[in-house]
Amino acid sequence: MMQDVLRLGGRELKSRLFLGTGKFANKMIPQVIAASGAEVVTVALRRVDLEQGEENITACIPKECVLLPNTSGARNAQEAVRIARLAQAMGCGNWIKIEVISDHRYLLPDNFETIKATEVLAAEGFVVLPYMSPDLMAAKKMVEAGAAAVMPLGAPIGSNRGLKTKELVKILIEELSVPVIVDAGIGRPSHAAEAMELGAAAVLVNTAVATANDPVAMGRAFGLAAEAGRTAFRAGPGAVSDYASASSPLTGFLHD
């Protein structure tokens, strides 16, 4: 099998796991990243605030990783754009995950404002990855606006509920020309593998790792699962059938 890489924003990524750092103690981050194999790591801008001194989260992230700041806290396109520019000015590079949220119970993204922010930031040269509600028409508009990939949610952020939007995510994967990266809701390695088996380009995990008793081990588990799912997708899985089909020869020599 040929080398399998995800090309995104001029990078070639081997790992299909993106890791969020929003709920970690900073000192644990390097170990979790190493165990998971993640090459793309998200950070919320508040945590990169330069005045935090040695608490600066970006210092905890290995240089070879792609830093993916998110616009967490933004309630509209304008705020998201402002956060993105700040992140770039602070040295976080030109990748940006757009998160625009005004719903406080389910933290669902606002596709409308997200499209606007995507357009502005893509035009400025950012590699834009919008977090989104899995709606095909909205996703197409994000692609037109210059998104490098789309990040539909599997379930509400932090819920660990799994790939509950599977039917809609499958359609995005089938119909879009950009990578689909499942973000939010992925709570178990089996969920990550399932998303990858459907053809997702990657999965982003944060809460599921951060809330495990042993986050380092859980990071490793997700890294393995993302690879398992991707490998299976490429290996061409067999058909699912209603009936049984003997996996051992049944016609018995005992009955001859």
75 lines the binding site for a second copy (CB under 8 A): yes
Minimum CB distance to a second copy, residue 131 (Å): 10
Q: Which residue in 3, 27, 63, 248 binds a second copy (CB under 8 A)?
A: 248
State both tokens at 94. Answer: 């030109």
Q: Which stretch binds a second copy (CB under 8 A): 55-63, 122-130, 143-151, 154-162?
A: 154-162
Confirm whether residue 184 is marked as ligand binding.
yes
Q: Is 14 a catalytic residue?
A: no
Give the nearer residue to a second copy in terms of CB position, either 10 or 214: 214
In 3D space, the residue among 7, 10, 41 whose CA is nearest the CA of residue 26 turns out to be 41
Confirm whether residue 219 is marked as ligand binding.
no
H or E segment at 204? strand 202-205
Confirm whether residue 185 is marked as ligand binding.
yes
Minimum CB distance to a second copy, residue 114 (Å): 9
Q: Give the 3-state secondary structure of residue 135.
A: coil
State both tokens at 10. Answer: 């001029």
CA distances from 131 to 52, 107, 118, 182, 189 (A): 27, 11, 10, 9, 21
Q: Give the 3-state secondary structure of residue 131.
A: strand
CA distance 203 to 68: 14
Q: Which stretch binds a second copy (CB under 8 A): 8-16, 26-34, 53-61, 210-218?
A: 210-218
182 lines the binding site for a second copy (CB under 8 A): no
Q: Which of 27, 97, 141, 164 is catalytic?
A: 97
Q: Which residue in 3, 54, 137, 177 binds a second copy (CB under 8 A)?
A: 137
Give the residue carrying structure tokens 């790992």: 15
H or E segment at 66? strand 66-70
109 lines the binding site for a second copy (CB under 8 A): yes
Q: Which residue in 34, 79, 85, 93 binds a second copy (CB under 8 A)?
A: 79
Minimum CB distance to a second copy, residue 10 (Å): 25
Number of residues assigned to the chain: 256
3 lines the binding site for a second copy (CB under 8 A): no
Residues 132 and 152 sit within 8 Å (Cβ to Cβ): yes
Give the residue carrying structure tokens 């508009």: 141
Q: Which residue in 5, 12, 23, 123 binds a second copy (CB under 8 A)?
A: 23
Please give the annotated binding residues for 1-deoxy-D-xylulose 5-phosphate, written as ranges.
158, 184-185, 206-207
Active site residues: 97
